[in-house]
Structure 1
Amino acid sequence: MRHPLSPTRHPSAILFLVQMLGVLLYPVMEQAPHGQIALNIFGITVLVITTRMVRRTPGITWISVCLALAIIVLLALQSLYALPGLLPWSSGLEALFYFYAAGSLIAYMMEDYRTTTDELYAAGATFTLLAWGFTHWFVATQALQPGAFAQPGSAAPRTWSDLNHLSFALLSSTGMGSVVAESPHARAIASLEMMVGVMYLAGVVSRLIAFTTRSRE
């Protein structure tokens, strides 16, 4: 008998739970002595799980595999040789990877006119993939433009957790939290994320709900 959340039955649920675990663990790992290495290792784990997820969608697997391999190489170089100059490149590629994975999951959810349990989990996983994609875009922007994101009373660069919180707040249209997009480029990306969040809820989630209601009728 298969487990209710087995990777074969509900791979989207596994991805969603791992991402939620990351949201809780990242603040802890950031404060650890070797926090950056731990962050990179966890990030690679999520990349592998997401790549396996893309294989079950209409998305092209080799694109996600190539992006994931390039990101893993850059993260390994950052961890082993402390090369901060690679951060914009790795974060930019991670943003592209998560956006592609989110698009693949949306295609997977919209390819028929019925809603399965795994597609409901995929709706949550897609939301977190979009949030993570914008988070890495924020990280790359901050690396290229110091001071792009600010917090009242602190001049230090914002951590990944700070920017992830901002990303979730913007994508869900619940506000901006304590972190503010200061530069024109940062505000433009923040505006784009708010629009993507509204379109995702209106165009994808509402359609899944309609399919679920129709199947019950």
Structure 2
Amino acid sequence: MSEARFRTLRWRVSARRHPSAFLLVAQLLSLAIYPLFDDMAAGRVVFGAIGVLVLALAVWVVNRSPAFNWIAWALAGPAFVLSMLAVALDNETLLVVSSALEAALYFYAAGSLIAYMMSDHRVTTDELYAAGATFTLLAWGFAYAFLVCQAWYPDSFTGAVEPERPRKWLELLFLSFTNLSAVGLGDVIPLGAAARVLVMFEQFAGVGYVAVVVSRLIGLTMLRHGSR
């Protein structure tokens, strides 16, 4: 067997064993790419392309979990089409609808990964990757929910820089990460009632995720190493 073929087979085996790792890596790499295009006119095109990749990976991860795959496809398909149309036509309405569908897909994928991690009493390597991927899915899901909220209720969010303008995607994603992780950095602030309710829901989700899912994985990992 040639070395190239061996590497290909090893790559396929890794992909089948650790699908959550690919989703986690894609999410983290996108974080590194976003700042390069945030202030450019072509930024929305880049964000759309990255979103398509993450959508596909999210559906793939759902397929490996106990969840219903057809629900993920029912959300991902329209989200993909509307996202591309929103970029091509520069249409804010289509962008808001696609963002709502993407938020629903990310929440569904996060729920499916949580069900996957809670389905047995042993901790695999892929479940550890799934723990990180679930956190990013929740962060992205709430960021898209913030984007929809901002479109439906203008002036929902303000910030330290140019407080009168709507917040950019990266700013809302930053708010989502700081809120979900309970860091509490306050340079992006929810002002409207709907925005504050969403922020409170995310705080509840973040605390619950750490208290139930992460603590369970840590406990099972310690038990496994203790039994050895």
- Report the TM-score range of the alignment, normalised by the length of the smaller protein: over 0.9
Give 1:189's aligned amino acid. Answer: L
Q: Equivalents in 1 of 2:181, 2:161: separation in Å?
A: 26
User: 1:132: which partner in 2?
Assistant: 140
Query: Which of 177, 180, 183 is 1:174 aligned to?
Result: 183
Unaligned stretches of 5+ residues in structure 1:
none
Q: How does 1:177-216 map to 2 (within 5 A)?
A: 177-216=186-225
- CA displacement at 1:30 relative to structure 2: 2.1
Give 2:181's aligned amino acid. Answer: S
User: 2:65: which partner in 1?
Assistant: 57
SS in structure 1 at match of 2:15: coil
Query: Which of 114, 119, 139 is 1:111 aligned to?
Result: 119
User: 2:30: which partner in 1?
Assistant: 22
Residue-by-residue CA offset, 1:50-88 (whole Å, 9 max, x unaligned): 111111000100100110001011112111212111222
Under a length normalisation based on structure 2, what TM-score does the superposition of the two structures give? 0.91
User: 2:158: which partner in 1?
Assistant: 150
User: 1:102: which partner in 2?
Assistant: 110
Give aligned pairs, total.
217
Give 1:9's aligned amino acid. Answer: R
Structure 1 residues 153, 168: CA separation in 2 closer, same or farther (over 3 Å shift)?
closer
Q: Equivalents in 1 of 2:196, 2:126: separation in Å?
A: 35
Residue-by-residue CA offset, 1:13-70 (whole Å, 9 max, x unaligned): 1110110111121122222331111111110110001111111000100100110001
Q: Equivalents in 1 of 2:59, 2:126: separation in Å?
A: 17
- CA displacement at 1:153 relative to structure 2: 4.4
Give 1:58's aligned amino acid. Answer: P
User: 1:43: which partner in 2?
Assistant: 51
Residue-by-residue CA offset, 1:97-138 (whole Å, 9 max, x unaligned): 000000000000010000001100100000000000000000
Q: Note the aligned Cα RMSD (angstroms).
A: 1.5
Identical residues among aligned pairs (%): 45
Structure 1 residues 69, 4: CA separation in 2 closer, same or farther (over 3 Å shift)?
closer
- CA displacement at 1:152 relative to structure 2: 2.7
User: 2:82: which partner in 1?
Assistant: 74
Structure 1 residues 181, 5: CA separation in 2 closer, same or farther (over 3 Å shift)?
farther
Q: Equivalents in 2 of 1:157, 1:43: separation in Å?
A: 21
Q: Equivalents in 2 of 1:179, 1:33: separation in Å?
A: 23
Under a length normalisation based on structure 1, what TM-score does the superposition of the two structures give? 0.96
